[in-house]
Structure 1
Amino acid sequence: MTKKLRVDFHTHIISEDFPDLAAKYEDGRFPILERTCSCGAEIKIQGKTFRKITDQAWDPKKRIEDMDKEGVDIQVLSPIPVTLSYWSDPQAGLELAQSQNDFIASVVKKYPDRFIGMGTVPLQDVKQAVAEMERAVKELGLKGIQIGSNVNGLNLDDDSLYPFFEAAAEMNVPLFVHPWATLGRERLQRFNSMYTVGMPSETALAAGSIIMSGMLDKLPNLKICFAHGGGSLPYILPRMDKGWEAWPETRNTKNPPSSYAKKLYYDSLVYDPDNLKFMIERFGAKQIIAGSDYPFLLREKPVGKVIDNHEDISEADARLMLGQNAMDFLGLNELVKSV
């Protein structure tokens, strides 16, 4: 039997030479990278440590070592969400996005057989975001764009953001939605609840906003994948369907929310076999893409561990989720055939 292609769709990377926009723009809200040793650093915001990271976060050689140990053929690289900085001046936001996109493209260019790149855009200015998306894809060769789950408190169905999604559909650029700036942050300060409770809730709100907006009726070819298994979305869909039935005056869609949820994609980062089985039953194996959240503490190690150890998943479905779905989502089917 041929080897399964194993793609880690959900990984994050940051340049070792991350630009210090906090100094340039005299605004401490910009994240900075402060080295602590030859193999470690801290991401700081306004002088406080946001996250401690190792050289896994910036060194492609270290990443490849880990990939080889864990049997990963390809990592899909995307920025660390805290760097999105949608709150910033659009020009500064564009500068930050371009810097990250250039870096990710350079890593892919150096190791084209091991990495695929997704970029970022300054969504606080939709016109600039569309222009940078076009540059990232057409000039740099990146295969998708990662966006945050909201833009300065605006849900993704906000009318001001629609031209971006329209452009992504027209350009056939897949989008990866990652939670950031979670709702209810003031109530999520203890127990690392932002990561364990806030992010799944935030992701569900982002997905629900797109589903219920009617966007997927207007843009049927739009490809969107949601991080962390869609957060709590799979479990609240029946309630969303009930609300759609109960309040017809608020409907913006032709069909119930659950029918649109089956058209979206989700990474497999749910940790639990029963949760993964539930997702397969609700969405189908073709909509689920293996992702680990490498190199952070909450990552699945190795990627696809739950898929591999699941007694009820067929060989064909495992092959889809571990690699083929990622390549299909990114429009790289020809690479699957060559493996």
Structure 2
Amino acid sequence: MNDRLKQAHASRSAAVKAGLDHPVIDTDVHVNSFAPVLEDYVAQYGGNQLVDALRKALGGRFVTRSGGKDWYQQTPQERQDNRTLRAPWWARVTRNTYDLATYTIPSLLHERLGEQGSDYSVLFPNDVLSPAAAGSEFRQPLHRALNHFHADQYQAYADRLTPVAGIPMHTPKEAIEELEFAVKTLGLKVINIPGGVRRPIRAIAEKYPAKEHPEVAKHAGYIDFYGIDSEHDYDPFWAKVVELGVPVTTHYGSQGWTGRQSISNYMFNHVGHFADGSQAFAKALFFGGVTRRFPGLRVGLLEGGADWGSHVYTHLVDRWEKRNKVAVRNYDPAEADVDLLAALFERHGAELLKGRKVDKSTLLRDSLGISALPHSREPDESEIDDFALAGIEKVEDIRDRWVNSFFFGSEADDRTVAAAFNERVHPLRVKVNAIWSSDVGHWDVPEFTEPLAETWDLVEQGVLSAADFKAFVFDNPYRFYTEANPRFFEGTEVGRKLAAKGKQ
């Protein structure tokens, strides 16, 4: 063990860290909850019934079933017949047993941060959002029990570690209740929310009640992303988040969505799914006007990379320039000059018309084609501005409500992060907020001590500049947390180092 520790302390990342003049903040570390201790804690919180609910929620988290059988119990033909999704498998580190212990034992993780090169890490217990699968009876008490457990487990290591609080989002009321408990009672500083909640389509649910038609209910639903088209008003929740000074994070995936439904290949379903899920959530907050009404809201979208944040920002500007409330009139059929169109047909259309007469009453429809005007009426004035709720009047508004509000978690070896720092391709020549999210604890990172060195490799390969590296591993993460809560790093190793330099 001593030899192993000496070897670990000499890690590549520790060597990189020794050459830096700034702290390193890891925004995404995944940890395990040791099952017997967790269950004992939950039992004290809510008895054996709550433990059973926890086991059921955790046991079904990555299991896809059809006809009472999971994927591994079904024959290939049954998977075809039921379209049973190939879910994640072997998703956590095991062969590297020292790292497995690190992700499970809080004191060991705290001890080894120096080997990783990190000064401060935000922890995402792998079970933190599992209560969402527990149903309405147990969802909220399980969230409270797990948040309390994680707060207690890591309280002694608050100088360098902080666990997130899992917040249920089925209704604004329960979200606010758990948010206030997590922050005011437990002292937790970051929250993790699901990027959406699946709900039944009301008209179908009324016709085919879930208890009588469970298979219909399984498929006839939609995802509520809170910001737009929701049946609930989530503004009181966002207001409370800003009031309490809490950064919001999500790891929101889209496996199982259309185009990610392979019954045989996990990687087919996985590649890009965090980016797709987070994009839907972020666009809902943008187009629903949440980031306009709450400019102090800071949202971290993790595991999906930062390149998608770059291209969505760019395309929002592109599309607004073409379809803002003034420019969209370029496509209004009422703006067409039918007399001019008829004259042009008379002058140039003889070969096309083949003797047909030009009929002005149908000429516009005929010219656009049968598929161009399929609706029962034209949209009225209140229905033509998709950017109205976001309050976009100029390009700077898009910058302020996208770039300022969102931070994009990229893993250490993700070369596409360079897109976030390429201001030449971004409107107004801004950079998108990429934040260093190592994702240690999951299969993406087989070696705990490698991520910082892998990111420095990008500098040596010319993918990132040294300034980009600093922004990625320190400046942007620091802004993410302190723009929400200026006192976030008080009493931490980061705060100590900055105070020593006179920078905090």
TM-score when normalising by structure 2: 0.57
Selected match of 2:451 from 279, 303, 327: 303
The answer to whether 1:229 aligns with 2:305 is yes
- Give the distance between the partners of 2:88 and 2:472, measured in 1 at CA: 32
Partner of residue 31, structure 1: 58
Which shows bigger deviation, 57-66 or 218-227?
57-66
Instruction: Report deviation, 1:223.
Output: 0.9
Output one character per residue of 1:201-224: Cα deviation in whole Å (capped at 9) or x when no partner.
Answer: 112111122122211110011111
Q: Is the 8 A contact 1:166 1:219 kept in 2?
A: yes
Is 1:276 aligned to residue 417 of structure 2? yes
**Amino acid of the structure 1 residue aligned with 2:323:** A
> Distance in 2 between the 1:14 and 1:163 partners?
32
Per the alignment, residue 266 of structure 1 pairs with 408
User: What's the % identity of the aligned pairs?
Assistant: 17
**CA distance 1:110–1:285, change in 2 (3 Å):** farther
Q: Using the alignment, how far apart are the partners of 1:145 and 1:97 within structure 2?
A: 12
Alpha-carbon distance in 2 for matches of 1:306, 1:221: 33
Where does residue 184 of structure 1 map in the other structure? 258
Paired with 2:125 and 2:237, the residues of 1 have a C-alpha distance of: 19
User: Greater share of helix residues, 1 or 2?
Assistant: 2
Q: 2:166 aligns with which of 120, 123, 147?
A: 120
Pairwise CA distance, 1:61: 3.6
Cα distance in 1 between the residues matched to 2:157 and 2:242:
28
User: CA 1:305–1:120 in 2, change beyond 3 Å: closer, same or farther?
Assistant: same
Query: Which residue is equivalent to 2:248?
Result: 175
1:184 corresponds to which letter in structure 2? Answer: T
Residue 158 of structure 2 aligns to which amino acid in structure 1?
P
The aligned amino acid for 1:246 is R
Q: How does 1:1-339 map to 2 (within 5 A)?
A: 3-17=21-35, 18-19=38-39, 24-25=52-53, 28=56, 30-32=57-59, 51-52=89-90, 53=92, 54-64=100-110, 66-80=112-126, 83-152=129-198, 153-158=223-228, 159=230, 160=232, 161-180=234-253, 182=255, 183-184=257-258, 187-189=261-263, 190-227=265-302, 228-230=304-306, 232-244=308-320, 245-246=322-323, 248=325, 249=384, 250-251=386-387, 252-255=389-392, 257-263=398-404, 264-269=406-411, 271-273=413-415, 275-282=416-423, 287-299=433-445, 302-305=450-453, 307-309=455-457, 310=459, 311=462, 313-331=464-482, 332-334=488-490, 335=492, 336-339=494-497
Partners of 2:139 and 2:317 in 1: CA distance: 38
TM-score, length-scaled by structure 1 = 0.82
Greater alpha carbon shift after TM alignment, 294-303 vs 278-287? 278-287
1:38 corresponds in structure 2 to none
Query: For residues 132-154 of structure 1, what are the alpha-carbon distances to aligned partners after superposition, in whole Å with 9 as ceiling and x for unaligned?
Result: 11111122121110112211221
CA distance in 2, matches of 1:265, 1:186: 25
Query: Is contact 2:291-2:402 (8 Å) kept?
Result: no
Deviation string, structure 1 residues 107-127 (Cα, Å, up to 9, x no partner): 321222231221111111321
Q: Unaligned regions of 5+ residues in structure 2, if any?
A: 1-18, 40-47, 73-86, 93-99, 199-222, 326-383, 483-487, 498-504
Residues 25 and 119 of structure 2 are in contact (CA less than 8 Å); yes or no, is this contact kept in structure 1? yes
**Counterparts in 2 of 1:64 and 1:163: CA distance versus 1, 3 Å:** same
Q: Deviations over 1:212-268 (max 9, x none)?
A: 221111001111111122573422433333333326322222335455221121122
Between stretches 126-135 and 279-288, larger displacement belongs to 279-288
Structure 1 unaligned regions, length at least 5: 34-41
SS state of the match for residue 168, structure 2? coil
Instruction: Report Cα offsets for 1:23-66 as digits up to 9, x if no partner.
Output: 734994x1149xxxxxxxx9778777955444444222443455
Distance 1:83 1:215, change over 3 A: closer
- CA distance change for structure 1 residues 288 and 308 in 2, over 3 Å: closer, same or farther? same
- The one-letter code sitting in structure 2 at the alignment partner of 1:208 is K
Question: Which of the two has greater strand per residue?
Answer: 1
Distance change >3 Å, CA 69–CA 337, structure 1 → 2: closer
- Contact 1:8/1:303, CA 8 A, preserved across alignment: no
In 2 relative to 1, CA 242–300 (structure 1 residues): closer, same or farther, beyond 3 Å? farther
Higher relative contact order (CA 8 A, sep 6+): 2
CA distance in 2, matches of 1:66, 1:265: 27
Larger radius of gyration: 2
Cα drift, residue 175 of structure 1: 0.2
